[in-house]
């Protein structure tokens, strides 16, 4: 868990997937560690310490969004990545800015619910298996001291101990067979209940009413009748369905909601991508008409306000905001001053060098060369990337980025796809004996030389 990790360990974890950008990794690691430090203080001091929001500035394809992706997997906290271009002034187009907090709250509720589900997993699994055993047991084996037809207790029915022993032995055998998977393909019939739902049209708009149609459906669901439906499913499928149902019965949703709201307020992280798209002066018409409107709407959320959600009010005072933008047209100073002040930590990400491209191709756990090698291995083709091939790919990527638009590491994707196009197409038909392919510098030049030389063509292909 990130709470126990030092800033250095967080950076080391990010290093597994992201090449370079040490300043950005360092700032993110410090911000995460500061949250852990804050939680160890007394309540009065906790309220006084606000998160130091971060804005990452750098060209496209250098790792800004990748840092967000890896953070979301690293932190055990509610995390959401939003594109700021989705949000414009209410009444114009787009979504209400507060909806990012509502979405974050929903993510937190699902996260906490899953954690409770894992906690109750063993009990739910046991209960589910008992339900399957009850369905598998013959109806006549359920003779007991209760009159099932009336529901009344019958005290004068003698208990047949031998019959009870046989029943319990059968149940034990069924439990064992279910646990070992011997009955997975056996079909059983069970009665499921489904809600009779009425269609609800979304006729509302404006702040806080985006998901009111879902709430109306939930309210109507409580008063609408339920209908039963018999269906046949395998034991394997029944176990999955029953485990989910049993978890739902065991989980206290009120407690889940309380924990989820607290987690959002104390540990929530919002990654705001493409923030440079709302920078600059409004033109007064066209698609730019609400740029500053979005900035003004974003101000109270970032500074700290209370947002109404369907789970309850959420205070954003201690939510960490990380913004990112290329700022290749606009500048950070084009943001309104109030919003600039809400992001006190600014990190500039570097453009990628030829050496960085070499590392991106080979070092990360999910490197491109490894991805293509593993994919082609499924068709029985073995790719071997030589060192000179890696150097040549990196050189071509740098050259094209310099001569045309600099799209950073994304250039490597287009180059690799073009270079391996024929192999990817022919791989299933390559005969054994010719399926070991060496990729060297000559191979790379042979596949890419014509495209690189044709300046106009390279704009579209690479």
Which pLDDT tens digit goes with each residue over 245-293? 888 888 889 999 999 999 999 888 999 988 888 887 655 555 555 677 7
341 and 358 co-located in one domain: no
pLDDT at 205: 46
For residue 352, give every residue at least 6 positions away whose Cβ sits within 8 Å of its Cβ, in sequence order, or none. 19, 20, 61, 62, 360, 401, 408, 409
The reply to whether 459 falls in a domain is: no
297 and 376 co-located in one domain: no
Mean pLDDT of 413-431: 89
107 and 55 co-located in one domain: yes
Please name the helix (run of DSSP H) or strand (run of DSSP E) that holds residue 421, with its range, or none.
Answer: helix 421-426
pLDDT at 391: 92
Lowest-pLDDT range of 7-16, 87-96, 153-162:
153-162
User: Among 148-162, 197-211, 386-400, 425-439, which range has the highest average pLDDT?
Assistant: 386-400
Question: Distance between CA 342 and CA 299 in Å, rounded?
Answer: 8
Question: Distance between CA 152 and CA 182 in Å, rounded?
Answer: 37
231 and 288 co-located in one domain: no
Task: Retrieve residue 328's tokens.
Answer: 């290749």
314 and 359 co-located in one domain: no
278 and 187 co-located in one domain: no
CATH at residue 298: 3.40.50.300
317 and 331 co-located in one domain: yes
Q: Are strands 436-439 and 54-57 parallel, antiparallel or unpaired?
A: unpaired
Is residue 230 classed as helix, strand or coil in its secondary structure? strand
Q: Which of 319, 348, 377 marks a domain boundary?
A: 348
| DSSP-assigned letter for residue 284 | S
Q: How many domains does the chain have?
A: 3
Write a three-state SS string for 328-396.
CCCCHHHCCHHHHHCCCEEEECCCCCHHHHHHHHHCCCCCHHHHHHHHHHCCCCEEEECHHHHHHHHHH
The reply to whether 14 falls in a domain is: yes
pTM here? 0.76
146 and 242 co-located in one domain: yes
Domain that includes residue 21, residue range:
2-115+262-348
Kindly indicate the confidence band of residue 142, based on its pLDDT and cuts at 50, 70 and 90.
very low
The reply to whether 166 falls in a domain is: yes
| DSSP-assigned letter for residue 153 | B
Strand ranges (E), 142-298: 187-195, 226-234, 269-273
Task: Retrieve residue 176's tokens.
Answer: 């064992």
Beta bridge partners of 304: none
Using a pLDDT cut of 90, give the percent of the chain over it: 16
The reply to whether 255 falls in a domain is: no
Average pLDDT over the chain, rounded to an integer: 80
Check whether 60 has a pLDDT greater than 70.
yes
Please name the helix (run of DSSP H) or strand (run of DSSP E) that holds residue 462, with its range, or none.
Answer: none
Q: Which of 228, 250, 272 marks a domain boundary?
A: 250
């Amino acid at each position: 868990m990130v709470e126990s990790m030092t800033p250095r360990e967080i950076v080391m974890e990010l290093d597994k997937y992201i090449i370079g950008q040490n300043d950005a990794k360092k700032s993110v690691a410090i911000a995460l560690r500061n949250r852990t430090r804050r939680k160890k203080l007394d309540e009065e001091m906790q309220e006084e310490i606000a998160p130091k929001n971060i804005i990452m500035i750098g060209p496209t394809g250098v790792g800004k969004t990748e840092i967000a992706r890896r953070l979301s997997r690293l932190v055990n906290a509610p995390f959401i990545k939003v594109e700021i271009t989705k949000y414009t002034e209410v009444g114009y187009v787009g979504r209400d800015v507060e909806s990012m907090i509502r979405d974050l709250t929903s993510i937190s509720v699902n996260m906490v619910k899953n954690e409770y589900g894992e906690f109750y997993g063993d009990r739910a699994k046991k209960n589910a298996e008992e339900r399957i055993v009850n369905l598998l047991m013959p109806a006549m084996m359920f003779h007991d001291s209760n009159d099932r037809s009336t529901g009344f207790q019958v005290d004068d029915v003698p208990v047949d101990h031998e019959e009870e022993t046989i029943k319990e032995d059968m149940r034990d055998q069924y439990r064992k067979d279910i646990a070992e998977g011997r009955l997975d393909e056996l079909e059983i019939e069970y009665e499921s209940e489904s809600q009779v739902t009425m269609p609800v049209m979304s006729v509302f708009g404006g702040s806080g009413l985006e998901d009111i149609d879902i709430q109306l459906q939930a309210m109507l669901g409580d008063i609408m009748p339920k209908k039963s439906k018999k269906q046949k499913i395998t034991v394997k499928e029944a176990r999955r369905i029953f485990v989910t149902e049993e978890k739902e019965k065991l989980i206290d949703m009120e407690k889940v909601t309380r924990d989820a709201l607290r987690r959002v307020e104390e540990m929530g992280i919002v990654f705001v991508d493409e923030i440079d798209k709302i920078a600059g002066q409004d033109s007064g018409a066209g698609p730019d008409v609400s740029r500053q409107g979005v900035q003004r709407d974003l101000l109270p959320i970032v500074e700290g306000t209370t947002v109404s959600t369907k789970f309850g009010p959420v205070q954003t005072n201690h939510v960490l905001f990380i913004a990112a933008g290329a700022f290749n047209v606009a500048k950070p100073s084009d943001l309104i001053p109030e919003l600039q002040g809400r992001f006190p930590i600014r990190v500039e990400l570097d453009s990628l060098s030829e050496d960085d491209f070499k590392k991106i191709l080979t070092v990360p756990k999910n490197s491109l060369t490894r991805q293509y090698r593993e994919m082609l291995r499924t068709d029985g083709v073995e790719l071997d990337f030589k060192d000179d091939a890696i150097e040549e790919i990196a050189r071509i990527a740098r050259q094209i980025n310099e001569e045309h638009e600099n799209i950073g590491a994304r250039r490597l994707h287009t180059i690799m796809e073009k270079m391996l196009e024929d192999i990817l197409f022919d791989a299933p038909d390559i005969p054994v004996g010719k399926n070991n392919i060496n990729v060297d510098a000559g191979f790379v030049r042979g596949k890419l030389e014509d495209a690189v030389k044709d300046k106009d063509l390279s704009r579209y292909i690479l």
